[in-house]
DNA sequence: TACTAATATAATTATTTACTTATATAATGA
DNA sequence: TCATTATATAAGTAAATAATTATATTAGTA
């Protein structure tokens, strides 16, 4: 049940960035496509794309393609301690309401 | 009950380093003085001292001086989610047994 | 097939940060 | 007071990394 210190450090590095932590907070609400996330976080698409890649490689998110959109979802399966961390973050519900209705349509 | 994202990021940065994470794993077992930690981690005293300063500033450890030694102890009071993270780390009990008996004496 | 939209990748740059070496401070004891 | 031990601080360097800009890939559609 105990992880190696090295792999835990790698996971903590993923969480030690505001953009990535906010992405995880968003995905806690619901799965989202890249354009949704770019919309909310006010940064560039390549920036989000690179952060998502890191989160995916670290096993924190899963991706599914549905036609031209790629949806990302939170994966806490093998990291139960994530729940306690993400619980600390403020709710992102307000941001979800502001989503561009033309995104992923 | 929810922290700001910024302050959570700062805490995650503190955890995203192998030396600091190992220090926390050690302090989970018992409070220790600087020379104990230097002994176990095979690095230099200034290096440990600087890591301890960061952990202290981030509120993750407390320090107490007892004559010429300064003891550090884990402080999870306002960060309950730390428990779940540190639980993932391997036990440090073996390292404690190897401690130099002349340290802090 | 050509065009557009969504997303990923590559290369560059600037910032952050861990570690090292040298030095300073603080406490103890002769 | 002087010497020693424990710890902290300062300055410099090298490595890691987030963001930007440009370009590539993939899917859908006319």
CATH of the domain at A41: 1.10.10.10
Q: What are phi and psi of A87, to 5 degrees?
A: -65, -25
Answer whether residue B15 shows pLDDT above 90.
yes
Is B13 or B105 the better-scoring residue by pLDDT? B13
Q: Which domain holds residue B33?
A: 5-89
- For every one of its 105 residues, what pLDDT tens digit does chain A have, with 9 covering 90 and above? 788 999 999 999 999 999 999 999 999 999 999 999 999 999 999 999 999 999 999 999 999 999 999 999 999 999 999 999 999 999 999 999 988 888 888
Nearest nt by C1' to B19 Cα: C18
How many domains does chain A divide into? Answer: 1
Residue range B50-77: average pLDDT? Answer: 97
Q: What are phi and psi of A44, to 5 degrees?
A: -85, 160
The CA–C1' separation of B23 and C23, in angstroms, is 26
* Structure tokens, B23: 């220090």
Residue B31 resides in a domain: yes
Residue A100 resides in a domain: no
Residue A92 resides in a domain: no
What is the pLDDT of chain B when averaged over all its residues?
A: 96
Q: What is the pLDDT of residue B103?
A: 86
End-to-end CA separation in angstroms for chain B = 42
Contact of B41 with B23, CB cutoff 8 Å: yes
**Length of chain B counted residue by residue:** 105
Buried b (16+ CB within 10 A) or exposed e, B5-26: beebbbbbbbbbbebbbbbbbb
Residue A103 resides in a domain: no
Q: What is the pLDDT of residue A103?
A: 86
Residue range B27-34: average pLDDT? Answer: 97
Q: What is the pLDDT of residue A25?
A: 98
A99 to chain B, closest Cα gap in Å: 20
Residue A93 resides in a domain: no
Residue A97 resides in a domain: no
Residue B100 resides in a domain: no
Global pTM value: 0.95
Residue B73 resides in a domain: yes
Work out the percent of chain B whose per-residue pLDDT is above 90.
89
- Write the CA distances from B67 to A11, B51, B70, B99, B105, integer angstroms: 39, 22, 8, 20, 11
Contact A85 B85 (CB under 8 A): yes
Strand D-contacting residues in A 25-44, CB cut-off 7 angstroms: 43-44
Q: What is the pLDDT of residue A98?
A: 84
């Amino acid at each position: 049940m105990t992880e190696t210190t090295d792999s835990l450090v790698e996971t903590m590095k993923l969480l030690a960035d505001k953009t990535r932590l906010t992405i995880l907070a968003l995905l806690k609400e619901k799965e989202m496509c890249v354009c949704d996330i770019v919309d909310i976080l006010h940064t560039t698409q390549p920036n989000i794309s690179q952060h998502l890649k890191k989160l995916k490689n670290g096993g924190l998110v899963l991706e599914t393609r549905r036609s031209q959109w790629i949806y990302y979802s939170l994966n806490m399966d093998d990291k139960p301690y994530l729940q306690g961390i993400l619980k600390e973050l403020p709710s992102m519900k307000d941001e979800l309401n502001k989503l561009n209705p033309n995104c992923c349509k």
